[in-house]
Amino acid sequence: MTRKTSSNVTRHRGLVDAAARAKLLGQRGAVVWLTGLPASGKSTIGYALERRLIDGGNAAYVLDGDNVRHGLNGDLGFSPQDRDENIRRIGEVAALFADSGMIAITSFISPYRAARARAREATGEQPFVEIHVATPLAVCEERDPKGLYARARAGEVPSFTGVSAPYESPESPELELDTAGKTVDQCVDEVVATLHREGVLPPA
C-alpha cells in the first residue's frame, strides 16, 4: 500500500521549518495512534491523554469518529473500501497535525497492518507512536458499552471487528497496553512514559 500523489503537483516549501514550530510551541509534533478492538478503551484513553497533555502544557488534539465521520469523512460509509479511505484520510490529517507541531491522538480500530503502516509512512520524520490497546476480546465483550458485541453476536452488525471481521495485531507497536484490571489513569501513565521514551516529551 503506497501513498498516491496527484499529477502535476509539486511541493511548495514554506519559510518555517519543524524546528521553528517546535521552538514556538515548546514541543515536538507527533502522532499517537491508538488501535485495538471495539471497547478496548481507545477513546477513553485518547481523551484522558489529551486532558493530561493539555494540563501539562502540551498542545494535543484527539481525532476520532465523532469529529471525523461528521465532517471530513461524512461521505464515507462502512464498506471495506470506505473504511480503508476513512483510515487513509485520518492518517494524512494526523500527519498534517504533527507537522504543524501538535500531538495528534487518533482513536480508531484501524484493524489492518498495511493501513497503519501507511499512516506511519505519511507521518514522515515526526514520531509515530503506535499504541496497541490490547484488551482481551472477552473483556471488551463484557464491557460492551454500546451493546454492539451483543448485536454482532446476534448477527445484526455485519463485519464487526473481533466477531465477524479480523483484527491484525501490531507486530512491533511502541506500546502494548492491556487495560484489563487497570484504571484509566494507570493506562495514561503508561502512554505518557512511552511518549517520554520515544522523544515526544522531554526525558522525565
Helices (H), the chain: 18-25, 42-55, 65-69, 80-99, 113-123, 137-143, 148-153, 184-197
Using a 10 angstrom Cβ sphere, with 0-12 exposed, 13-18 middle and 19 or more buried, the burial of residue 8 is exposed
Look at the block and give the residue holding cell 498495511.
Answer: 114
Q: Treating both helix axes as pointing N-terminal to C-terminal, what angle do 42-55 and 184-197 enclose, rounded to 10 degrees?
A: 60
The one catalytic residue in 110, 159, 164, 169 is 110
* 21 or 182: CB nearest ligand ADP: 182
* 124 or 166: CB nearest ligand ADP: 166
Residue with smallest beta-carbon separation from ligand ADP: 41
Q: For the window 16-55, what string marks contact with ligand ADP as x by the rule CB under 6 A?
A: --------------------x-xxxxxxxx----------
Provide CB contacts within 8 A for 22, sequence distance 6+.
28, 29, 101
CB atoms within 10 A of CB 186: 11
Q: How far is the CB of 101 from ligand ADP (least distance, A)?
A: 26
For residue 73 the three cell numbers come to 469523512
Q: Is 110 a catalytic residue?
A: yes
Q: How far is the CB of 37 from ligand ADP (least distance, A)?
A: 7
Q: How far is the CB of 113 from ligand ADP (least distance, A)?
A: 18
* 29 or 36: CB nearest ligand ADP: 36
Q: For the window 174-193, what string marks contact with ligand ADP as x by the rule CB under 6 A?
A: -----x--xxx--x------
Site for ligand ADP in 133-152 (CB under 6 A): 143, 145
- Of the candidates 50, 33, 199, the residue with the CA atom closest to the CA atom of residue 122: 33
For residue 100 the three cell numbers come to 504543524
Q: How far is the CB of 80 from ligand ADP (least distance, A)?
A: 20
- Give me the residues that bind ligand ADP (CB under 6 A), please: 36, 38-45, 107, 143, 145, 179, 182-184, 187
